[in-house]
Chain A
Amino acid sequence: MNIIVCLKQVPDTETQISIAADGKSISTDNIKWVMNPYDEYAVEEALQIREKFGGEVTIVGVGPKRVTESIRTALAMGADKGILVDDQAIVGNDSLGTARVLTAVIKDLDYDIILCGKQGVDDDYGIVGSMLAEFLDIPQISIAVKLDISEDGSKVTVNREVEGGTFVIEAPLPALVTAQKGLNEPRYASLPGIMKAKKKPLDVKAIADLGLDAGSVGEAGAKIEIKEITLPKPRQAGKIVEGETPQEKAANLAKFLHEEAKIL
């Protein structure tokens, strides 16, 4: 079973985000770049599928050269090979542009299932996986918390998280599934894994190699554009409920709940 995982590199979630001079993007000084956390679940699930069915796990990334580090991390976890699309023309990609690039890479590959994180934790759009499935004309099941492939490898059954419950959905393969937290416990790369990863194939491709028109991707092809970013306005500090003892503080809060919030 051949499995493809789409990978995005994002700033570590602990990073202090600040705004760059252009007012539209974040300052990239002192950013620690990591694999998108939701993509870690996708990589782990791909490895578990391969352990059961055999085959190959291919990691596909889009972005500048630094993304190779995150692809290497996935290779160190156990994936077999990587592809990175790095091209000046993709700078300024919106989700649609990224989906087009991924489509161009993946359409000619031999695959049974495609796994993505449910969203990138940088711009938080959550669009690319679903668009990719639409372009490839394969079924998509998003926000998966459980995934089972039938013994004969013909279909996938997914528990997808919905508000207040779970939908169980079945689809024939090939299909695309996006990973939610809880799908699995991603493994850490072992030291031998890290050593092996250095020798695994990692192809770097340009837009021209994919037969893509530069006008359909990057800033030129984008349908949405960030005009301005701002930091959240600090809210006015609240009122600290005072009291000599914890009992008195609790009593004062209860009084508020009664008089103003009208819940007691």
Chain B
Amino acid sequence: MSEIFVVIEHRLGEIRDITYEMLWKAGDLSEKLSHTVTAVLLGHEVDPIAENIKDRADKIIIYDDERLKNFNADISKEILAGLIEDLQPEITLIGNTSWGAELAPALSVKTGLPLATDCIDIAFENGKIIAQRQMYSGKIFSNVSFAKSDGYIFTIRSGVFPKDKTGDRQAEKIQKDFPAPDRELKKSFVEFVETAAGDVDIAQADLLVSVGRGIGEEENIAIVKELSEALNGILSCSRPIVDKNWLPKYLQVGTSGKSVSPKVYVAVGISGAFQHMAGLSGAGTIIAINKDPKAPIFRTAHYGIVDDLFKIVPALKEKALAAKKG
């Protein structure tokens, strides 16, 4: 029986959503393959994190060391390469995040295992493992196969898998000693600067109200912001708004911005270019407000209003405020 490794992503003591999503996928694969789910947790003082995921894995391998306090691809790569060599997992899952972008390719070179990045699913065809992913900013879907190997590494796109538990699991915790690095570390961590707006991370939001080119002028963004507040949601935007420097880049949805997975996404004055829609593959209900009935967004949106946003947005805000008052 082989194993599925999930490399646990966390920051400042908090588990990132991608971790739960990967654990779900690992659980899903474990049923098909009869493999065990092994969470690999690197960090410092990570007991609460292990506690939090223990019902989502069969085994948690923990490396707890001061030197692992901040993410460092160099050390993580060394540790994981050693562990992969020891335990020979058939599948290793890593988040397709800033973390994963530095870690996974280097790990692939170090271990010699093939790597497919930014996967939206993992499937089997005639007993062979296949990665499903997108290319050309989501204009094309591709199935990728691998040269035969003892193991395979995948990085997983955020927001495509559920965050739910799978099955009944009670992980055994295994503490491992931090292997002495064979040389001095090359990089050093200086600081983490949280996004200026505090807690706004559109990737984690349940409801997004997103503004696009149709808003016309910078000062008009205020009405969309007011709508987002009335709906208890968070404001996001499409690329042209960031290109004009009207809103910061961390609010941008799409392939050059963020992939988001809100339960509800309200697109205001957004035409719905491929690059934008590709960031919405994990969204629940998409609502579009646009005066152009031919706008591509109406091909994807579940609900659409074809009208002037300057009339719809204030009216919708009033309705939302009235509903809140009950």
Chain A residues close to B by CB (< 8 Å): 11, 13, 17, 19, 26, 95-96, 99, 118, 121-131, 133-135, 138-143, 157, 159-172, 175, 181-182, 222-232, 234-235, 237-241, 246-247, 249-251, 253-254, 256-258, 260-261, 263-264
On chain A, the residues within 8 Å of B117 by CB distance are 125-127
On chain B, the residues within 8 Å of A224 by CB distance are 114-116, 131, 144-147
Give Cα distance in the complex from A235 to B158, angstroms: 21
- CB distance B110 to A140 under 8 Å? no
- CB distance A164 to B143 under 8 Å? no
On chain A, the residues within 8 Å of B133 by CB distance are 124
With contact pairs A17-B139, A139-B74 given, residues A164 and B203 touching in the complex (Cβ less than 8 Å): yes
- CB distance A122 to B304 under 8 Å? no
On chain B, the residues within 8 Å of A129 by CB distance are 105
* From A130, A157, A159, contact of B102 by CB (8 A): A130
Give Cα distance in the complex from A138 to B142, angstroms: 32
Q: How far is the CB of B191 from chain A (nearest CB, A)?
A: 5
Nearest neighbor of B304 in chain A, beta-carbon distance: A240
Q: How far is the CB of B214 from chain A (nearest CB, A)?
A: 15
- CB distance B186 to A249 under 8 Å? no
| Contact indicator per residue, chain B 294-316, by CB within 8 Å of chain A (1) or not (0) | 00001111111111100110011
What are 25 pairs between A and B in contact, CB < 8 Å? A17-B139, A26-B140, A99-B105, A121-B137, A125-B118, A127-B115, A130-B101, A134-B110, A138-B186, A141-B187, A143-B101, A157-B190, A167-B191, A223-B146, A224-B115, A228-B143, A235-B300, A237-B298, A237-B299, A239-B304, A246-B307, A246-B315, A249-B307, A257-B264, A261-B284
Nearest neighbor of A254 in chain B, beta-carbon distance: B319
Nearest neighbor of A250 in chain B, beta-carbon distance: B315
- CB distance A223 to B149 under 8 Å? yes
- CB distance A230 to B141 under 8 Å? yes
| Contact indicator per residue, chain B 174-213, by CB within 8 Å of chain A (1) or not (0) | 0000000000001111111111000011011001000000
Q: Is B163 an interface residue (CB 8 A)?
A: no
- CB distance B141 to A229 under 8 Å? yes
On chain A, the residues within 8 Å of B220 by CB distance are none
Q: How far is the CB of B16 from chain A (nearest CB, A)?
A: 7
Q: How far is the CB of B262 from chain A (nearest CB, A)?
A: 10
On chain B, the residues within 8 Å of A231 by CB distance are 139-141
- CB distance A124 to B304 under 8 Å? no
- CB distance B145 to A167 under 8 Å? no
- CB distance B186 to A171 under 8 Å? yes
On chain A, the residues within 8 Å of B308 by CB distance are 246
Nearest neighbor of B202 in chain A, beta-carbon distance: A164
With contact pairs A131-B106, A163-B16, A241-B304 given, residues A250 and B316 touching in the complex (Cβ less than 8 Å): yes
- CB distance B98 to A143 under 8 Å? yes
Give Cα distance in the complex from A162 to B118, angstroms: 16
Give Cα distance in the complex from A232 to B110, angstroms: 35
With contact pairs A124-B135, A165-B192, A247-B315 given, residues A234 and B141 touching in the complex (Cβ less than 8 Å): no
How many A-B residue contacts, CB cutoff 8 Å?
A: 244
- CB distance A26 to B136 under 8 Å? yes
On chain B, the residues within 8 Å of A125 by CB distance are 116-118
Give Cα distance in the complex from A129 to B73, angstroms: 14
On chain A, the residues within 8 Å of B187 by CB distance are 139, 141, 169-171
Give Cα distance in the complex from A246 to B188, angstroms: 56
Q: Is B138 an interface residue (CB 8 A)?
A: yes
With contact pairs A238-B298, A238-B301, A261-B263 given, residues A227 and B101 touching in the complex (Cβ less than 8 Å): no
- CB distance A124 to B134 under 8 Å? yes
Nearest neighbor of A248 in chain B, beta-carbon distance: B315
- CB distance A11 to B136 under 8 Å? yes
Give Cα distance in the complex from A162 to B135, angstroms: 22
- CB distance A142 to B101 under 8 Å? yes
- CB distance A230 to B194 under 8 Å? no
Nearest neighbor of A166 in chain B, beta-carbon distance: B193
- CB distance B299 to A235 under 8 Å? yes
Give Cα distance in the complex from A240 to B285, angstroms: 14
Give Cα distance in the complex from A121 to B140, angstroms: 12
On chain B, the residues within 8 Å of A128 by CB distance are 105
Give Cα distance in the complex from A164 to B198, angstroms: 9
- CB distance B287 to A253 under 8 Å? yes
Give Cα distance in the complex from A140 to B275, angstroms: 27
Give Cα distance in the complex from A208 to B61, angstroms: 45
With contact pairs A163-B98, A169-B187, A249-B307 given, residues A17 and B136 touching in the complex (Cβ less than 8 Å): yes
- CB distance A263 to B311 under 8 Å? no
Q: Is B320 an interface residue (CB 8 A)?
A: yes
Q: Is B170 an interface residue (CB 8 A)?
A: no
- CB distance B305 to A240 under 8 Å? yes
Give Cα distance in the complex from A167 to B287, angstroms: 34
* From A99, A222, A234, contact of B147 by CB (8 A): A222
Q: Is B169 an interface residue (CB 8 A)?
A: no
- CB distance B232 to A263 under 8 Å? yes
- CB distance A232 to B98 under 8 Å? no
Q: How far is the CB of B127 from chain A (nearest CB, A)?
A: 14
